[in-house]
Amino acid sequence: MGIALVNKNSIYNGIATPRERTSEHRGRVNLPSGTVVVSADNHWSFVDDIFYERFPAHLRDRAPRAVNDDGAFIFHVDGKSLFTRTVSNILRTHDSVPGNHRMEQRIKDMDAEGVRKEIVFGNAIGAFYAYPDLEVREWVFRIYNQYMSELQQQAPGRFYGVGLINYWEPERTAESIAELKKLGLKTFLIPMNPYGAERKSLSYGDESMNPMWQAIEDSGMPLCFHVGEFALDGPGGVGLGLFQTFGPFRKNFGELVFAGIFDRHPNLRVVFVEADLNWIPGALQNAEVLYEVYNKIFEPQLKHRPSYYWHNNCYATFMSDPIGLKMLDIIGADRVMWTQDYPHPESLYGCNWSAIQELMDHVPSEDDVRKILGGTALELFNL
């Protein structure tokens, strides 16, 4: 009996590592008139030792240092890496791409691949999401935001850095967001799995987090969750870690819905980044069944059905997801944003135009194509 391949014509078939790729020629790809292509998820690596000199003098001996570890740009504290061998090996696949840390080359790559604007997340900064020294963590976040703002000024109207906020002290989140806004950043990230002091696990649904959610809602800025918090060593570590990484968002969507966060803060706008689209219909189907069966004993009681919150508060990004696009009627064309994910191994760097054509082949409406390729991102992130 033959095996039915999920996508035997995938644009990833035979793709080279990012270091070996070059930009793809546009060929005969014809975008709908008025399309502004925005990648809602690209990346930048830190080759500059940005933290040490900017840290307060009394903390400088605890500041992380940027280190080039045989092509992986990582952070050391007290001379020791914050990364496992698996993570360093993954970073080596793409960190040395010139446009990943040089703005001039980056803009050339964006121009060649048709990307006019990009939302940019920092590579490797996730090492500090659960960092136990909260004073160091706060200064890392603040300096990171300053640095992303400086990069943004190097490419005005093209490069938009994603900031980080203080989520472990909810009463200070508003102050953190105000500082980020002054820097000109358009959005920010909080981790999927939050931790406080000494790696104590926090719950976003806990009442103590309400000041954080209120500050985010009051800011009017969209909030991002981004994959990348799983990394495993040992046999199968790369595959298993990445397999978990790209399927993580049921937990966060469930918290927002079932813990009543969306009900208490109905103007929140949340973006689930880099897990594609195909997880959404299954998650919504299961959530709707749970609502039908258990809604009378939910605590708190929901004001709406789970699908309501998806279509009013949520967005997701994708790169190449033919299966997800086949279910776009369930997901909503106004809920999804295309991304290039430059320059990660699973990114579309080097096959960008093929991926854009793939999208257009699956989406017959030119209005929807314009939204997905950039229109929704322009509006959501106020670009």
Please say whether the beta carbons of 148 and 161 come within 8 A. Answer: yes
Q: How far apart are CA 341 and CA 94, in angstroms?
A: 11
Res. 231: pLDDT tops 70? no
Tell me what the mean pLDDT of segment 63-89 comes to: 88
pTM, two decimals, is 0.94
Mean pLDDT (the chain, rounded): 92
Domains annotated on the chain, with CATH = 35-380 (3.20.20.140)
Tell me what the mean pLDDT of segment 14-28 comes to: 90
pLDDT at residue 1 in the model: 42
Res. 59: pLDDT tops 50? yes
* Band (82; pLDDT cuts 50, 70, 90): confident
pLDDT at residue 198 in the model: 81
Q: Which of 4, 40, 212 is nearest to 116 (CA)?
A: 40
pLDDT at residue 12 in the model: 87
Pairing of strands 38-44, 117-122: parallel
Please say whether the beta carbons of 128 and 63 come within 8 A. Answer: no
Please give the C-alpha separations between residue 360 and each of 73, 328, 376, 378, in angstroms, as whole numbers. Answer: 36, 13, 16, 19
- Residue 317's DSSP bridge partners are 337
Q: How far apart are CA 219 and CA 337, in angstroms?
A: 22
**Percent of the chain residues past pLDDT 90, beyond the cut:** 78
* Band (88; pLDDT cuts 50, 70, 90): confident
* Tokens 């000024």 belong to residue: 153
Lowest-pLDDT range of 7-21, 132-146, 294-308: 7-21
Q: What are the pLDDT digits (tens) for 284-321?
A: 999 999 999 998 999 999 999 999 999 999 999 999 99
Lowest-pLDDT range of 171-185, 235-249, 299-313: 235-249
Q: What is the side-by-side strand order in the sheet with 159-164?
A: 38-44, 117-122, 159-164, 187-189, 223-226, 270-273, 314-318, 336-338
Q: Which of 32, 15, 21 is nearest to 357 (CA)?
A: 32
Res. 6: pLDDT tops 60? no
Reduced to 3 states (helix: H, G, I; strand: E, B; else coil), residue 39 is strand
Sequence-ordered list of residues with C-beta below 8 angstroms from that of 383, at least 6 positions apart, any chain: 38, 117, 160, 186, 377
pLDDT at residue 90 in the model: 83
pLDDT at residue 2 in the model: 47
Q: What are the pLDDT digits (tens) for 38-54?
A: 999 999 998 989 999 89
Q: What are the pLDDT digits (tens) for 192-226?
A: 999 998 889 999 999 999 999 999 999 999 999 99
Res. 324: pLDDT tops 60? yes
Q: How far apart are CA 327 and CA 206, in angstroms?
A: 33
Q: How far apart are CA 338 and CA 359, in angstroms?
A: 9
